[in-house]
Chains A and B, each alone.
Chain A
Amino acid sequence: MSQLPFDPLLISIAIPLALALLIAFGLPKRWSIRLAYVAFAVPLLMALHTWWHFSAQPQTAGYAFLTNYTTGLQGIGISLKLGLNGISMPLFVLAGIVGFAAGLYAIRSQAERLKIYLMLLLIMQGGLMGVFASVDVFFLYFFHELALIPTFIMVGIWGGRDRSYAAMKLTIYLTAGAMISLVGLIALYVKSGANTFDLIALKAHLAANPLPVTLQENIFGLLVFGFGILVSLWPLHTWAPLGYGAAPSSNAMLHAGVLKKFGLYGLIQVGLPLLPAGLTHWAHPLAWLAVVGNVLIVGLITIAQRDLKQMLGYSSVMHMGYAFLGIAAGSTLGVGGVVLMMVAHGLSVALLFLLATSIYQRTQTFALDEMGGLASKTPVLAAFFVSGTFASIGLPGFANFWGELTIFIALWKFSPLITALAVAGVVISAVYGLRAAARVFFGPATERMADVATRNPPTDLAWSEKIPALILLFSLLFVGFWPKSMSEPINAALTPAAAAVVAK
């Protein structure tokens, strides 16, 4: 069956949001939980469906599953236009998978005020599916904001250490980033003269009448700066470790895993094809910022972390550096590598955040110095965590490997010096990743650990933790061993865009 009797994209956005609304209007707790399984499963199934049938679908301008809904703003060129192209499809699938894993984990997590927790997570999920399914630039932004709001509240209510401060800082940074990119998008809309936010129409219009080069550079600058804050580009990254350190696990999984990719996605989907001259202008500053700031400085800071969750937060900031490098390289290979890496990083960082919480539940601490010797008591947990760490370092066999490899190859053409520095970052990430795994699971148990273990003997992973972790790990390996399943549509979508860049 390749044609569903309904729009799979709209369904995967609407079902989570509809359930969230129902919960807000006082659905009983028992039903909220039961329906939440469905509401997290539907986006996953729809995402897998679109992945499977993507190449067989009729395509318009590279987009499959196109549908259009009007919301009353067609007069100024805004309508809810849904569709997937080769760039958004992998991320749509990512959102489905991570959302399902985070949802399952949340349902079984026994959080306080579970109903509201689920409601916020469902809003996030609906928003995320919407971000990647939107062809309309306005709705792209709109859904991103929709998915962002729950983060502020979730960090504030269910957060860990410094939650109040973290929530406030997160809110202000991310709002600033979002507002700046909004101005960039408005500038694009007004200056293009196409009177539409529809990406396909904008592309066609700008291909025929490109904007003046200076204007492209300025608008691209606004986008890089605004999106950069959202993706934690150095030195505007400080919200990320703090926020992830405080965020509850399911929220951190969805935010670090999927939502944070929005900025990169926006640059690739909107910035590169519409403002090709902008990239040529900004590529070098962006690459240097990414390699020196994100990869090296933040990498070294990561090594110095003594807190597991902070370390994961910093490491995700560091990996975003690679993504910026791939975008700066600009070729089909580099940008394609970024898309692949976004998927891979999303899966692996979600896995690690999930496991970090599992570790916390067994050790009652995030401090690396106070842990040790957990592997003998919880071998399955150890195996998962070590696999997750390997994935995040970029060992072959995991999806991350292909992403980083292609980025480095593309980067070599761009600048060998930057490539050398970036490759040094891989060593850094191996150091902190392996050291953390070793600290937590191997070596002698510290006094404190022995104390915790006698009072509260640690049990191995329960099924409610294993299943989400398995889903994530399996997806990582699947893409790792069969990257073609993702890379083919990505290449197909990127070739014209990157060709335009090269032509400049």
Chain B
Amino acid sequence: MNLEAVKLAAADNLWTAILPELTLACIALFLLVLEIVLPKQHHRLIPDVAAAGILGTLAGLCLNWHPATLGLDTFNGLLHHGLAGQVMRVFFLIAAFLVCVLARVSLAKQPMPRVEFYHILLVVTGAMMLLAQSNHFVMLFVALETLTIGLYVLVSYFRTSAASLEAGLKYLVMGALSSGILLFGIVLLYGVAGNPALPAHTAQAFNYSELARFLAANPHHFVASLGIVFVLAGVAFKIGAFPFQIWVPDVYQGAPTPVTAFLAVASKGAGFAVLLSLCGPGGAFASYGWLITPILTVMAAATILFGNIAALTQHNVKRLIGLSGVSHAGFLLLGVVAARTVPMAVGAIYFYLFAYLIASFAVFGVMTHLAGEKDADQELEHYAGLAKERPFLAMVLAVGLGSLAGIPPLAGFMGKFFVFIAAYQAGARCMLAIAVVGVVISIYYYFGWIKAAFFESWTVSTAANQDTAKPVPTPVGLIAGVTLGALALASLVLGFYQGPLGQWLTLR
């Protein structure tokens, strides 16, 4: 994009197309200004400003649900604004708001500066929103790097905790590697698509639709396939799919709990938004079905099995939920496989993502309240007697875990149900069998967690237990309480009544 195009865009008011992202960026900068301007005793207002800003952006987005740019490519094809993009914007904004709520609880336990956390959070959220709407590999890569670099900082935010620093370093190394792989794939695709000897070659190979046209004209090109495989591998790192899931348990355990939630939900959602825009119906790689279908199928099967089996033996709840999140990535991948042939699957993936968001944040909210000063040490044993001491938290936890496990009448079940229908329609019957095995395995550890919280005589207090004494739970504040209650209720209501969300399934 040259200067003329920028001028043109400014004259066309094209900037309104990314108004939500711009708003977030402005609020992020405003937070930094506030820190300088506000007297120190008022600094505690800054998180509230961030949360209010996110809610305001969300409200603006919902009020202007059908903007004039909907369905158009803007900025010379860098972005594509579709309904899917709108849905994902809402997804990221809700996730960011919930992270704010959790961070208020979690950061209060640490002697840390607060403002930067929210600043980075807002920037990362904006980057994710752009990522979900990107229609161009340059846009994709820049947005991805913005969000990943922001997350490096957030993961190691508890800088006095060795676990947090270790997690940050691991995430940095793994993230850099995956970015490299992704970039390599992009470059291969760019190079081969620009080869004038090939039919339908193009100078705009970064653009998804141009690339799709080129790939359709060269259905079995070796270098292009190689590029696609590398791009998929790079994205698989982000969503934590097998065999690129190795970083998940350690990073999830070490990162501050709100950041773990952000990684588990929003970052995964971003990965799937990218995956859908590349591999979904009409995506850039759509014509390479012979290649991506087997890759994604095998990846989904392995991810479901690995995530569930690895989670079985975990005693640290952060590792447990990290690995269970891996298995959820597997179920979602199953949806992506189905989405190539079954239109309903796209809606199923979005529904699954929202159900996963609601349920995960309910569980992470409880975890945040129960965590002690050492954020990385959250053991299953700490949940003993929760139902007696803190019935509200126990109830929220049970609803959240039940929904993650996919137990009716909770939203998570509906998500799985839709994905299963889509998978069956796509003819992936072996995959369905594997998914069923995965669900049954997952019942064991989710139920084990509920058991730890609800059933008595789970732990025998021995001398060994004295060392790992339970941290004192934080009392539930008003905002956190209302939010957690709303999340639990939302899981329940969405299980019974899908209302307008159910119509996503018939979109397109």
Point out residues on A near B: beta carbons under 8 Å. 24, 71-76, 141-142, 145-146, 149, 152-153, 156-157, 163-164, 167-168, 171-172, 175-176, 179-180, 182-183, 186-187, 189-190
Contact = CB atoms under 8 A, between A and B. Distances in A.
B151 interface: no
Nearest to B439: A179
Contacts of A149: 402, 407-408
Given A142-B409, A156-B451, A190-B421, A73 B436 contact: no
A145 B443 contact: no
B462 to A, nearest CB: 18
Nearest to A130: B409
Chain A's interface: helix, strand, loop or mixed, by majority? Answer: helix
Contacts of B395: 24
Contacts of A180: 436
Interface stretch (B171-179, B234-242, B261-269, B493-501): B493-501
18 contacts: A71-B498, A71-B502, A75-B503, A75-B506, A76-B418, A76-B505, A145-B408, A149-B407, A156-B454, A163-B455, A167-B455, A175-B439, A176-B436, A180-B436, A182-B436, A183-B432, A186-B424, A189-B421
A81 to B, nearest CB: 15
Given A145-B407, A183-B433, 9 more contacts: A71-B496, A72-B501, A76-B505, A146-B408, A149-B408, A175-B439, A182-B436, A183-B436, A190-B425
Interface centre among A74, A152, A175 (most CB of B within 10 A): A175
A52 B457 CA distance: 49
Interface in B344-402: 344, 395, 402
Interface of B: 344, 395, 402, 407-409, 413, 417-418, 420-421, 424-425, 432-433, 436, 439-440, 443-444, 447-448, 450-451, 454-458, 496-503, 505-506
A17 to B, nearest CB: 9
B499 to A, nearest CB: 4
A172 B407 contact: no
B459 to A, nearest CB: 12
Contacts, number: 92
Contacts of B413: 145
Given A71-B499, A75-B505, A146-B409, A168 B447 contact: yes
Nearest to A173: B440
A90 B432 CA distance: 35
Contact of B498 (A72, A153, A175): A72
Given A72-B497, A73-B505, A183-B420, A172 B440 contact: yes
Contacts of A153: 450, 454
Contacts of B421: 76, 186, 189-190
Contacts of A183: 420, 424, 432-433, 436
Contacts of A186: 417, 420-421, 424, 432
B383 to A, nearest CB: 14
B336 to A, nearest CB: 19
Contact of A168 (B444, B456, B457, B458): B444
Contacts of A190: 421, 424-425
A145 B497 contact: no
A76 B424 contact: no
Contacts of B402: 149
Nearest to B413: A145
A164 B506 CA distance: 43
Contacts of B497: 71-72
A71 B506 CA distance: 14
B292 to A, nearest CB: 23
A116 B8 CA distance: 65
A91 B432 CA distance: 32
A186 B424 CA distance: 7
B454 A72 contact: no
A393 B400 CA distance: 45
A335 to B, nearest CB: 28
Contacts of A74: 502
